[in-house]
């Protein structure tokens, strides 16, 4: 099996991002980018997307296949 350290690092970064979004859902805090307020529901969407990307990268690194 081939080692893929950069894929593991990317998977870990996406997992951390998902955890930050989940934390924002549990303990709401305001996020502003310039004059724009980022709504809380966007963190729910981002948490699902980043967790999914982390999971897919992890599976790719291990070499497992889906159903």
CA distances from 55 to 16, 20, 46, 65 (A): 12, 16, 14, 12
Is residue 1's pLDDT more than 60? no
Handedness of CA 14, 36, 41, 19 (dihedral sign): positive
Query: pLDDT for 9-46, tens place per residue?
Result: 999 999 999 999 999 999 999 999 999 999 999 999 99
Is residue 66's pLDDT more than 90? no
For residue 28 the two structure tokens come to: 């709401």
58 by Cβ neighbours in 10 Å (0-12 / 13-18 / 19+) ranks as: middle
What is the per-residue pLDDT for 2? 60
Q: Map out the domains of the chain as residue ranges.
A: 5-62
Contact 10, 26 (CB under 8 A): no
């Amino acid at each position: 099996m081939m080692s893929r350290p950069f894929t593991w690092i990317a998977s870990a970064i996406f997992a951390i991002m998902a955890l930050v979004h989940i934390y924002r859902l549990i303990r709401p805090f305001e996020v502003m980018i310039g004059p724009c307020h980022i709504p809380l529901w966007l963190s729910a969407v981002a948490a699902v997307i980043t967790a999914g990307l982390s999971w897919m990268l992890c599976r790719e690194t291990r070499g497992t296949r889906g159903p």
